[in-house]
Structure 1
Amino acid sequence: MSETSIELMPQLPVLSSQPDSEKVLQPPALFQLPLTSQDPQQLQQQSQLQSELQQQELSETNAEQQAESVCVKQKRLLLLLLGLSFSIAVLGLIFYIHHIFYAERRTHMPPVTPCLSQACQRAAARLSTATDPFTQTCDHFLSKCGSDRLLLTNLGRHRGQGIPGHPQNLKEKSQRPKGEKKVRGLNEERLQSRKTLLLEYLKEILETKENSYSSAVQKTMDFYRSCLDTSSIESAGEEPFLTLIQKLGGWPVSGIWNKTDFNSTLALLMRDYATFPFFNLNVGKDLNESTSGTTKRRYIQIDQPDLMIPIEWNSKIEKSGAKAETLRPFLTLCQKYLTLLGSPETTSRIHVYMFISLSSELAVAASPLQYRLLKGQLHQRMSIEDLQRQAPAIDWLGCLQAVFHPLSLSKDDHVVLHNLPYIVHMSQIINKWQNKHELSNSGPLHTYMLLNLLHTLMPAMDSRFSETTKAFSEALGYDNEDSPRWKHCMLSTERGFDSVLTHLLQIVTAHREAEKMIEDLFLVFKSKLHHLSVTEQNYYQLITEKVNSLVPRVWTPNRTSGENELDLLFSQVNISSKNFFSNYIQLLSLWQKRRSKLLISPSEPVDVLSLTPFLLGNEVLFPMGMFIPPLFHPTYPKAYNYGAAGFLLTKDIFHLLLPEIPSSSNTVKTVAECVGDHYLRTTEKAGRSGASTLSAAQQQELWVQYSALEVALNTYHRIRHSEDTSLLGLSHTHLFLTSFSQVSCDSDPYQEFMPLDPSFLIAVICATSNLCPPMQCSIKDDHISPQPC
C-alpha cells in the first residue's frame, strides 16, 4: 500500500533557485504522504529512481516552456500588428469622414432648394450645356476666352497703336483682314456679348403671339416681321428703288432726269431718307462749352461724311486718298449696282467713272479723328451765317431747316463743326463740278447723291445687292461676319421704334430687385476703397467724397411714354406686313425725327440698347438692358444673379469711378502681380511658357476684374439667406462662380487689356477659400501656400 502510494506520487525536492514557472509543478502539501521506514538499499533505489524521474520531467518541462514562450511572443507580435492596422484604419476612416463628409457639408449642406420657375428652368437648361469650371483641368483656364491668341507671351499689344487706314473705310461692315483671329476665340456662340443677349430678349418680346398690345406696339411688331419676310423682299427686286428714283425726278443714268435743283434734292435726301452724301449731321453738346452753373445745350454737329469709296490716310503729306488697289474692284462694284438696276454697261460706265472721280476729290480733305483732335479741328463753333460764307455751295440754312423741321432756325444760330477744312474743300469741289458745262446733262452731283441713297436703302433690298457688296469686300481681302437676319432686323427696328422698345422693356424690368442689387453692390464697393493703398492722400479723399455723394439707380425715362401717347406719336406711320422697302423708308424718317427732338429735349436721351452705366449729376445710372435674362431675373437664385449680372455691374462701376487709380495706388500693381504669378506657376505646371511683364493697362484690368469678382462674391455672402434657391443642385458658391464663368469673357471696351482668361480668377480665389467645392485645377504649390491677392 505504501509502496504503491510512493510510486504514484513521488516527492520532489523544493529548490529555492527554481523559477516561478517551475514552482507550480510541485504538488500542494495536502497530497504529500508521510514516508514509512524501509531498508537502505531500497531507499537508495528509490532515491535514484526519483532523481531520474525528476531529470526527465525537468527536460520535458523546459522544452514545453521554450515552445510556449515562442508561441506567446508570436501571438503578441501578431496582436500588436493587428492592433496597429486596426488603429490606422480607424484613423483613416475618421479622417475620410471628416474630410469628405464635413467638406460636403461645408459646400453642399444644407441641401439646396431648386428654383422651379419657368425662367429658372430655362437658365438651368442653358447652364447644363455650359462648361463647369470646377471639373476642368488648368489648360482650360490658360487661354484667352477659349483662344490661344492672347497668352501672356503676347502681352504688350495695345489699342490705338496707329490707325489702320481711315475710319470711313468699309464703314460699319464688321470686317477684319483675313488671317486675323477673333479676340473672342472659339467659343463665340457661348460667349455672347451683352448687346446680343439684349437683342435676343427684345426679339422674344416682339415675336410673342399676344394680340392685346397697343397700336404702336403692333406696328413695331409688324415692322420687325416684315423685315424677316425675305421672300417678299426677294420678289420685289429692284422695282421699289427704281420707283423712288422717278419720284425724285429720275437720274441721268436712265436718260430720264428732270434736272432737279441740287440743294433741294440734298435737303430732301437728308430729311426724308437720312442720307448725307456730302457731310454728316448729328446732335450733341459742345465739349468746349463751360459747364459752370449752367446745363450744356445741344447743337447741330456737322462732320465729314462716310464716303462709299475706300480711302487711306497718308501721314507724310497729311492727306487722304482713294486706295489705288481698290479702285478697280470699286469700279466693278458700282457697275454691278447699276446693272442690277437695269442700266446697260455701255451707258453706265461714264457715270461710274464720274462717281469715282468725285468721291476721290472729296476724300482728299477727309482726315482721321486722331489727327483732327491733334489739330484742334473738333468742336469748332460758328454761326450758320459764318458757315455760309466759308462754304457757299451749300444752302446751309435751307437744308438745316428742312432736316430739323418744325424747329425754327435762323442764320444767327450756332452749329459745331468737326472738320472745317473738309467742309470748305467740299464746297469748292461742288462748285467746280457744277460749273463744268460739258457735264451739265450728265448730272454727276445728282448721280452721286442717288448712289449714296442706294447705299442707305440697300438693307431693304433683295439679296443680290448685299451679295455684291460682300463679294467686293472679299476681293479686298476682308472677311465678312454674317450676322443672322433677326439681329439685323432688331437693329433696324430699334432705329425708328426705340421709344416703343423702351416702353416694353420697362414693363418687364424688375426695378425693385434690380435697384436692390445695385445698392448692395455699391455699398460693398465703397468699403473696398478703404483697402486701397494710395500714394496721394488728396486723391484718395477726393475719390472717397465723390463716391459717397453718388446715388445709384436704374436708368428710366424721367417721363414714361404711355400706350396712348405712343399710339399718337406713331399715328401717321403706316406699316405694311408685306412691303419692307416702304416700311424702311418710314423708318428713316422716324430716325431723323428722333434726332431732331434731341435738339430741344432737356433730358438725356434714353438709349434702349445702352449697356454702360454713366454719371448724371449726383447719380450713377444703370440702363434697364443690364437686367435681363439670362444674366438677371427676379426669380433666379441670388447666387446666379450676383455671379453674372452682379460681376458685370461691379466691373462697370470700377471702370466708371476709378479710371485713374493705377497712377495713385500701389494696390493695383500688387494685386495684378499676385494674380499674374499664380497664372505663371500654373502655366509652368502645364508645360507652357509665358512672360511676366504686364503693361499698366493690363495691370489695371486684371485688378478691376479680380476686385469686381471679390466685391460681387462678398456682396452675395453678405445678403445671402439660407433659403436661397439653386440650379442643377449646385451649392450656392458653386452656382455663383459657375454663372460668373459664363459671362467673364463678355465683350466690353476693356476686354483687349485682359491678359488672361477671367475665369482663371476662380482658381485664384478658391485657392485660399474654404467656401469653394473641390476644383480640378489647383494652383496650390507643394511648398508654398497661396496667399490671398
Structure 2
Amino acid sequence: MEKGEKDVSLVNGGREKAEEAGGGGGGAEVPGTPERQPCLPQGGGGGGGRAAQGLDEVDRRRKLSASNSVAKNRASFDKGAGGGRLGARVEARLRRRTGLSRFGLTVSAVILALLLVFLIVIVVLACTWPQTPHEHMFPVCTRAACLQASAQILPKMDSNASPCDDFWKYACGSWLRAPAPPRPLWSLAEEQRLRYREHLRTLVTTLPYPMDPTTKEWKLQHLYESCMRLDSIETDGTRPLIKLIFELGGWIVLPDFHPGAWNMERTIVKLFETQQITPFFQIDVVPDPRNPSKNIVKIIPGGLDLPHKSFYSRTPDSPVPSAFMQFLRDIVALLGARSSDAKRFSTNMFYYQQRLATAMPDNIDIEDPVASSHRDTIGNLREKAGSIPLMDILQLVFPKAIINNETEVLVPSSKFMNTISSILSTTDRGPLNEYMMWVVASSYIPYLNFEVRDIEMTYHRVLTGAQVPAERWETCITTLEKYMGLALAALVEQSSHNAERDATIKQINQMFDNIRDAVRSSLAKAYWFDKELQELALQKINTMSLQVGVSSSVVNDQYLKTFYNRLQIQRNDFFRNIRNAREFQMSYLNKKLMEPQEEYKWIDAAVGKNVAYIPTANKIVVPQWMLSPPLYNPQYPTSVQYGGLGVEIAYAVVSAVLPPNILFDGEGVLLNENSTVVNHSATTVRRAKAFVVRDVVQNGIASQDVANKTALTSVIHIAALRQAHMALSEALSSMPHLHQPAMESYESEQLFFLTHAQSLCSKSTPQQMDIDLTTSQHLNGSQLLPAVLKQLQEFSHAFSCSPTSVHYASNISPDIL
C-alpha cells in the first residue's frame, strides 16, 4: 500500500480490515477508483450492515466522551486562570505599595505568621501564668529596728497552732515552753522592766564619783552602795530594828519590855509622823476633787499583811494562813522572843488582822471616786470615831498646815472609820502593842540581814511560789525606784540623745492624736450614751493631753536638788538610809499639801508601772520605762508600735470616758453625786458588761465570779483594741506598704494583733495565780485574749477565720466603743 492509502485507512478507522474479517457480502470494489469508498449500509437486513451500525454507535460515543472531557478540562482551566488572575492582582497591588519583590512578600508573610503564633503563645501563657504572691509584690523593710522586731516576734510564736482557734498558743506558744526565771510571775512586761533595771544599774554604777553630797548623783550612788554592802548589813544583824522598836516604847513579845514606857497615842502619831508606817490606815495627799488646783488629805484603808481580806476567811491550817503564822513566830523568835510567846503572838496577830479585815471596803468601792472620796470634817470624825487620834496625827504630820475641826479630809466611808475606832476602843493595850510593833518590824524586814530575809523567803515560797529571792543588785535598784524614782528618770533622760528623745516624743504624740481621733469618732456614733454624757465625754477627749516620760522641767539639776533637799543619805548605813528616806517621803507629802504643783499630779505615774489616766489633770502619762525596746522603738514598724504601746495608750484614753473616770469633767473636777450624768454613767456599760460576762462564762473562759469582777476592764480592753486598730488603719493609709523581714507573709493587721497578744504573754505559779484571781480586776492574758477576740470582727477578717473557728466574731456586743 502506498502512502496515500495508509492515511485513508487510518482516517476510516480501519474499517477495511473489519470488513474483511466479517466475511459478509459487501459491495464490490469499483475499478479504477483511486481510493476505497466507505461501505454504506444497504437497505434490507444483512449481518454486515448491523456490524457497521454498531461500530458507528461506538465511534459516536467515543467522540462524545472525548468532547465532554475536553469541555471539563477547559472549564477547569478557565476557573484556575481566573483565580490566578485575582492572586496576580493582589500580588501586584502589594508589590506596588510595599516596593517588595515576590520573594520579599513571601518572607514578610512568613514573619507575620510567626508573629501571630508568638502572640497566641503569649496570651495563653499570660492566662495560665501563676500570680505573684502578695508578699513579693511590695518592698521589705530593711531598717535595723524592723529586723529587731521580727527577731522578737518570731521566736515566741508557735506556727503549728491555728490563729483562729488558739491565738494564745499561736502568739506565745514557744515563749510559754521556754524556761523562765524562778519568779512568781514572768511576762514580757516583767522582762522589759528587768532590762530597764539593768540599764539603771549601769547608769548608777558608772556615775562619775560625786563630791557634793547635796546632788542627786551622790545620793543615788551612796544609797545604792549602802544597799550592796552586805558585809555591813550582816554585821548589824537585827540590832537596828530592835533599837527602833525600843525608841517607840518597846514590844511586849520581847524581853525587857516595860509597859509604862509605851503609849498607844504617842506611838501611832510618831509612826505616821516620821516613819510613814501606817497601822490601820494610810495617809496620802491628793488633788481636791472639787478644786484640782488644791490638794487635800485622803485616808486610805490599810494595815493588813495578807494580799486580800478574803485570805483571813480561810481556815488557819490552809497553806497561806499557816505559813503566815509560822512566819510571825520565826521572826519574833529571831528578834528574841521566847518560843511560847512567839506562838501565842502569831495566833493573836492572825485573828486581830482577821478582825481588821471586816472593816476593809471592797476593791470596787475603793476604786469608785464617789464612794472612796467621802468628804468629812475632822470635827465630825472625832465624834464618830473618837478612838482614832486623827487630829493629833495630822497636826504632827503636817505641822505647817492649819489643821482644826473644820478641816476637811477624804475618807473611804464613815463606816470604815467607825469600825476602826471601835476596834481600837475594844482592844487591850497588849494586843495593840503587838499589832503596831509588828507593823513596824514587818516594814523593815526586807532591809535586814540574810537570816531575816531567809525567813521571809520561806514564807513567800508558800504565798507566791517564789523559789529564790531576786538578785541583790535588783533589790537595790528597786529600792532606789521606790525612794528616788524621779532622780533615776533624770539619769535616763540625761543619758539619751536629744534627737532620739525628740523622735520618740513626736511618734508617741502622733499615735496619741490618731487614737484620740478614733475615740472621738466612735463617741459621736455611740447611740447608747446619754446626750449630756456624750457631750462631756467629747469635751474630755478634746482637752485631753499627753505626758511622755518626765518633762525636762522636772529633771534639771536645780529642780532635783531642791526636790531631794530633805533626803539625807549616809555612807554604808543602809538601815539608817531607809529611815531617812521614809522621813523624806513624809516631808514630800507636806510639800504637796502646802505647795501644790501641777507636776505633782503625774510625777508618780511617770515612774509607775502602767500607762495611766490622771482624771484630776485629764492627762495620759506614759511611764519612763516603757520608752525603750522591746516594748517601744520609734523605728519599729507602725503596726508593731500600735499593737504594743498604742493599745496601752488606747486603754487609758477609753477609760477616761467610761466609769469611773467619766465622773470627772475635762477640768478634773469630780461631778456632784446627784447629777444626772453620774446617774447615767453606769448605764453606758451595763449592757456591755452583761454581754461580756455571759460570753466569758458560756465559752468557759472564766467563772461567773471572776467574769463579774473583771467585766468593766474587759469592756475597756475590747474598746481599746478596736480604737487602736482604727487609728492604725488611718495611719497606714498615708504610708507606703512595707513587709517585715522574715515575715513577708504577714500583713500589717496581723502584726498588730500578734504584737498585742505577745504583750499579754505571761506565766505564773499556782500560788500567784490564786492571788491574782482574788485581788485583780483584770482577766489574765490567757483568759483576756479569747474574750476580746470574740468581740472583734477586725481580727476575724485579718486572719480570714471561718465561721466555725473558735475566735470567729459571730456574736458582738453593739454597746462597746
Please say whether Structure 1 and Structure 2 have the same fold, judged by a TM-score greater than 0.5.
yes
- How far 1:218 sits from its partner (Å)? 4.6
- How many Å separate the matches in 2 of 1:768 and 1:279? 51
Unaligned runs of 5+ in 2: 1-12, 19-117, 660-679, 702-706, 761-775, 813-817
Secondary structure of the corresponding residue to residue 554 of structure 2: coil
Alpha carbons of structure 1 residues 620 and 313: separation in structure 2 relative to 1, 3 Å = closer
Alpha carbons of structure 1 residues 420 and 630: separation in structure 2 relative to 1, 3 Å = same
Q: Are 2:143 and 1:115 aligned?
A: yes
Alpha carbons of structure 1 residues 656 and 141: separation in structure 2 relative to 1, 3 Å = farther
- How far 1:226 sits from its partner (Å)? 4.7
Deviations 1:325-369 (A, max 9, x none): 477765543221122113332555565566567556655655545
- How many Å separate the matches in 2 of 1:444 and 1:364? 17
Alpha carbons of structure 1 residues 400 and 728: separation in structure 2 relative to 1, 3 Å = same
- How far 1:786 sits from its partner (Å)? 11
* Map 1:412-431 → 2, pairs under 5 A: 412-421=406-415, 423-424=417-418, 426-427=420-421, 430=424
Aligned pair partner of 1:553 in 541, 546, 550? 546
* Map 1:295-310 → 2, pairs under 5 A: 295=292, 297-308=294-305
Checking the alignment, whether the CA contact within 8 Å between 2:284 and 2:298 is kept in structure 1 is yes
> What residue is the counterpart of 1:713 in the other structure?
728
> What residue is the counterpart of 1:166 in the other structure?
none
- How many Å separate the matches in 2 of 1:586 and 1:495? 13
Checking the alignment, whether the CA contact within 8 Å between 1:598 and 1:605 is kept in structure 2 is no
Structure with the higher fraction of residues in helix conformation: 2
Alpha carbons of structure 1 residues 720 and 338: separation in structure 2 relative to 1, 3 Å = same
Q: Which amino acid aligns with 1:460?
A: Y
Q: Are 2:220 and 1:220 aligned?
A: yes
Secondary structure of the corresponding residue to residue 273 of structure 2: helix
- How far 1:714 sits from its partner (Å)? 0.6
> What residue is the counterpart of 1:498 in the other structure?
485
* Map 1:88-167 → 2, pairs under 5 A: 94=126, 97-99=129-131, 101-106=132-137, 109-112=138-141, 114-116=142-144, 123=149, 125-131=151-157, 135-138=159-162, 141-142=165-166, 144=168
| Further displaced range: 711-720 or 420-429 | 420-429
> What residue is the counterpart of 2:275 in the other structure?
273
- How many Å separate the matches in 2 of 1:590 and 1:645? 33
Q: Which amino acid aligns with 1:265?
A: T
Alpha carbons of structure 1 residues 758 and 446: separation in structure 2 relative to 1, 3 Å = closer
Alpha carbons of structure 1 residues 193 and 301: separation in structure 2 relative to 1, 3 Å = farther
- How far 1:617 sits from its partner (Å)? 7.4
Aligned pair partner of 2:757 in 729, 736, 744? 744
Alpha carbons of structure 1 residues 310 and 546: separation in structure 2 relative to 1, 3 Å = closer
- How many Å separate the matches in 2 of 1:283 and 1:139? 48
> What residue is the counterpart of 1:71 in the other structure?
none
Q: Are 2:608 and 1:609 aligned?
A: yes
Checking the alignment, whether the CA contact within 8 Å between 1:393 and 1:427 is kept in structure 2 is yes
Alpha carbons of structure 1 residues 300 and 195: separation in structure 2 relative to 1, 3 Å = farther
Alpha carbons of structure 1 residues 87 and 491: separation in structure 2 relative to 1, 3 Å = farther
Aligned pair partner of 1:598 in 579, 589, 592? 592
- How far 1:563 sits from its partner (Å)? 1.1
* Map 1:2-401 → 2, pairs under 5 A: 94=126, 97-99=129-131, 101-106=132-137, 109-112=138-141, 114-116=142-144, 123=149, 125-131=151-157, 135-138=159-162, 141-142=165-166, 144=168, 192=187, 194=189, 197-198=192-193, 200-208=195-203, 210-212=206-208, 215-224=215-224, 226-227=226-227, 233-234=233-234, 236-252=236-252, 253-257=254-258, 259-284=261-286, 291=290, 294-295=291-292, 297-308=294-305, 324-325=316-317, 331-346=325-340, 348=342, 355=349, 359=353, 365-366=359-360, 368=362, 378-401=372-395
Secondary structure of the corresponding residue to residue 591 of structure 1: helix
> What residue is the counterpart of 2:111 in the other structure?
none
- How far 1:451 sits from its partner (Å)? 1.7
Checking the alignment, whether the CA contact within 8 Å between 1:237 and 1:462 is kept in structure 2 is yes
- How far 1:590 sits from its partner (Å)? 2.7
> What residue is the counterpart of 1:461 in the other structure?
448
- How far 1:386 sits from its partner (Å)? 4.0
Report sequence identity in percent: 16
Checking the alignment, whether the CA contact within 8 Å between 2:643 and 2:752 is kept in structure 1 is yes
- How far 1:457 sits from its partner (Å)? 0.7
- How many Å separate the matches in 2 of 1:702 and 1:310? 25
- How many Å separate the matches in 2 of 1:260 and 1:667? 56
Alpha carbons of structure 1 residues 231 and 658: separation in structure 2 relative to 1, 3 Å = same
Structure showing greater Rg: 2
- How far 1:279 sits from its partner (Å)? 3.3
Checking the alignment, whether the CA contact within 8 Å between 2:197 and 2:474 is kept in structure 1 is no
Q: Which amino acid aligns with 2:152?
A: R
- How many Å separate the matches in 2 of 1:217 and 1:262? 40
Checking the alignment, whether the CA contact within 8 Å between 1:270 and 1:276 is kept in structure 2 is yes
- How many Å separate the matches in 1 of 2:164 and 2:451? 43
Alpha carbons of structure 1 residues 405 and 511: separation in structure 2 relative to 1, 3 Å = farther
Deviations 1:227-270 (A, max 9, x none): 46666645543233233334445444121547143333222222
- How far 1:757 sits from its partner (Å)? 3.8
Secondary structure of the corresponding residue to residue 622 of structure 1: strand
Secondary structure of the corresponding residue to residue 281 of structure 1: strand
- How far 1:760 sits from its partner (Å)? 6.2
Alpha carbons of structure 1 residues 92 and 398: separation in structure 2 relative to 1, 3 Å = farther
Checking the alignment, whether the CA contact within 8 Å between 1:744 and 1:759 is kept in structure 2 is no
Secondary structure of the corresponding residue to residue 156 of structure 2: coil
Q: Which amino acid aligns with 1:413?
A: T
**Higher RCO (CA < 8 A, seq sep 6+):** 1
TM-score, normalised via structure 1 length: 0.63
> What residue is the counterpart of 1:163 in the other structure?
none
> What residue is the counterpart of 2:63 in the other structure?
none
Unaligned runs of 5+ in 1: 1-34, 41-85, 150-183, 315-319, 437-442, 689-693, 770-774
| Further displaced range: 617-626 or 405-414 | 617-626
Q: Are 2:701 and 1:704 aligned?
A: no
